[in-house]
Amino acid sequence: MSIQSHSRAAQVAYQDLLRLHQDERASALIGSLEARKRNGRTYLYDKFRLGTEMKSRYLGEDTPELRDRLDRAADLKADSEARRKTMGRLARTLRAEGFIAVDRDTGSMLSAFARAGMFRLGGTMIGTAAYALYQGELGVRFDADELARTEDIDFASFERLAVALDDRIEEDPNDILSALKFDPVPGVFDRQVWKWRQSSGAGMVEFLTPAFGDETVKPLPSLGVSAQGLNYLNYLISEPIHAVVLYRSGILVQVPRPEKYAVHKLIVADRRREGPNQAKARKDRAQAAFLIKVLAEDRPDDLAEAYETARAQGPRWRHRIDASLARMPDTAAQLETLG
C-alpha cells in the first residue's frame, strides 16, 4: 500500500480554496454578533432585524478563527467578487492536479444542503464520502476506482446540538432530496424517515446521530430530519473540521477529523465482521489502514491522541479496536510505535 502525495502546488491551492470558502461564509454576516453560552460552550449568532421582528442565525461555535473572520466581515463582503473568481481558478487547478471531483448529482445535493444551512447547523458528512475529502486535508492521492463504487452519503449531528441551537435549516431536506429523485424510506415500526433511496440507481442518503445504549431513531429539529442513533458516533463527529468538495468552485462542508475517522473505522469494522456486512468491514479496515499509515508519518501526535482517547472509553471500545487490529498486523505495529 504505497502513498502518493499531491504536488506542493495542489496542496497550497486546496488550503487557499478552503480559506476562501471560510471567508465567504463569514462575509454573509448581516447584523450584529451575539454570543450565547450553553453547557459550558459558547455559540455565535448573527442577530438582525427583519421587518419588525428580530431574527438570529447560528454561525458556529466560538473559536478565535471564526471570531477573526467575523470581525473582518465587512472587508470580506467587499472582496466577494474577486474572491469568487479566485475560488473558480483554484478549483480548476485542483482538477488539473488530479483531485477527485464529485459527480453532478452529488454536487447538486451537497450544494443545496450547504445553501440551506445543513453544515452551518452542525451537519457532518461521514462515511466514504467524507473519507474522499481527506485528499485535500492530508495532501494524498486516493484510489479513484474505490471511491467511484460508493454511492451512499451519510450525515450525522448531535441531538443535543440540534435541539439547543434555536435555529433551523432554511429548506426542508425532504424537498431537496425529492427534487433530486430520492424517495423517503419510512421506518418499519414507527414510520419515521431517516433515509432516502435514489429512484433510479443505488444511491442512499442517511441521517445518523450518536446513541449511548439503545440505538433508536431521534429527531434533529435544527436539520429538519430524524436520525438513526448509533453507538460510538459521538467520538467520530466531535470537533469536526471544514473541507471543500470539488464541484464547480467548491462546496464548504464538515467532516470528522481524519485521525478520529481512522480509529472509528477500526471499531465499525468489528461491528460488521459477520453477516452481510463483511464486505463493508473489509472496506472499513482498508480505509483505516491507509489513513493510519499516512497519519503515523505526517501527524503522529494527532493520531496517538485519537487512539488513546478511544481506548480510554472503556473495555468495550478496546475490545472492538483490538479485534480489528488482530486482522491488521502492519497497522497494529504502526500504532504501537506511536507510544
Mean pLDDT of 44-68: 89
321 to 98, 210, 332: CA distances (angstroms): 34, 18, 10
Q: What's the topology of domain 99-256?
A: Beta Polymerase; domain 2 (3.30.460)
The pLDDT of residue 19 is above 90: yes
The pLDDT of residue 2 is above 80: no
Query: What is the CA 25 to chain-centroid distance, rounded?
Result: 17
In the chain, domain spans: 99-256, 258-339
DSSP secondary-structure letter at 276?
G
Q: What residues are paired with 243 via a beta bridge?
A: 253
> Residue 66 has what pLDDT?
93
CB atoms within 10 A of CB 35: 10
Mean pLDDT of 41-48: 91
> Residue 190 has what pLDDT?
61
91 to 12, 29, 36, 141, 142: CA distances (angstroms): 12, 25, 36, 16, 18
The pLDDT of residue 187 is above 70: no
CB 242 within 8 A of CB 228: no
The pLDDT of residue 188 is above 70: no
CB 32 within 8 A of CB 48: yes
| pLDDT single digits (tens) 58-92 | 998 999 999 999 999 999 999 999 999 999 999 99
Task: Report the range of poorest mean pLDDT among 126-135, 266-275, 301-310.
Answer: 266-275
CA distance 12 to 25: 20
Q: Which three cell numbers stand for residue 39?
A: 453547557
> Residue 8 has what pLDDT?
95
Residue 182: which region, alpha, beta or left (left: phi > 0; alpha: psi -120 to 50)? beta
211 to 131, 157, 158, 221, 332: CA distances (angstroms): 22, 11, 9, 16, 28
pTM of the model: 0.93
> Residue 186 has what pLDDT?
75
The pLDDT of residue 201 is above 80: no
